[in-house]
Structure 1
Amino acid sequence: MSNGGAGEFLIKPWEVRGEGREFEKISNDFARAAQGLEQGLTGLGTPWGGDEPGSGFGTEYTEAQGMLLAGLNGLADRLGKIGTGLHTMAESVDRADGEVSADLAKVDAGRPPVV
């Protein structure tokens, strides 16, 4: 930034929307992968057995598996929310640009033509 802190930046809403769609796609892909992992782990059953060592392992494994899957699903949800936030940002930029353009048109309409 130069000019005493005044700067310029450009936001292209169509690009922001595109990135939002990418995050939503990644979120959906990630959620499907987490679901596939969960189904695969469930398909393994409980091969550790019901004796004392097997039961102890099973308890710890089941708890860790639940935490892992919850974390993966939470990450998929957060990625989707980033996409939603990017769409909201693009809409806000479009709305602000439209309002500023309308205000400038009103100001210009009140000025005499430049000769």
Structure 2
Amino acid sequence: MSSPGFHVDPQALGVSGASLERVGTEFATALRAFQSELAGFGAPWGSDEIGSLIGAAHEEVASWAFECFSAAASEVAAAGVDLGGMAAGYREVEEQIRGAFEAFGG
């Protein structure tokens, strides 16, 4: 029984990696802009007892959410960098194999 194998297109992999890295970077930029915009609203819930409780809860939830989203953006960008590295690795191996075949007169 034989296996059909698989095909890797290093160029497409590199383009995809660059795109993924850009998405992560753009998401992080948009997230920072949104965080600044949200901070610009101040404390619309007021400063009374209930408003203070709402404000404290909002601050905790927003801080946690922004931390999670920021980590996700970093991971997406890092995955793009990793894909670019994989593409470079595949290109290098293909060039080595091509060189070996050419050395045999192939």
Higher relative contact order (CA 8 A, sep 6+): 2
Structure 2 residue 71 is matched with structure 1 residue 74 = yes
The aligned counterpart of 1:83 is 80
Matched residues in 1 for 2:72 and 2:94: separation? 33
When normalised by structure 2's length, the TM-score is: 0.89
Contiguous gaps of at least 5 residues in structure 1: 110-115
Contiguous gaps of at least 5 residues in structure 2: none
Matched residues in 1 for 2:65 and 2:97: separation? 48
1:46 is aligned, of 21, 43, 47, to 43
Structure 2 residue 97 is matched with structure 1 residue 100 = yes
> How far off is 1:12 after superposition?
1.3
Structure 1 ranges of 4+ moved more than 3 A: none
The aligned counterpart of 1:16 is 13
Q: Secondary structure at the match of 1:47?
A: coil
Matched residues in 2 for 1:76 and 1:52: separation? 36
Going from structure 1 to structure 2, the CA distance change for 1:66 and 1:5 (only over 3 Å counts) comes to farther
Question: What root-mean-square deviation, in Å, do the aligned CA atoms of Structure 1 and Structure 2 show?
Answer: 1.7
> How many residues are aligned here?
106
Which amino acid in the other structure matches residue 9 of structure 1? F
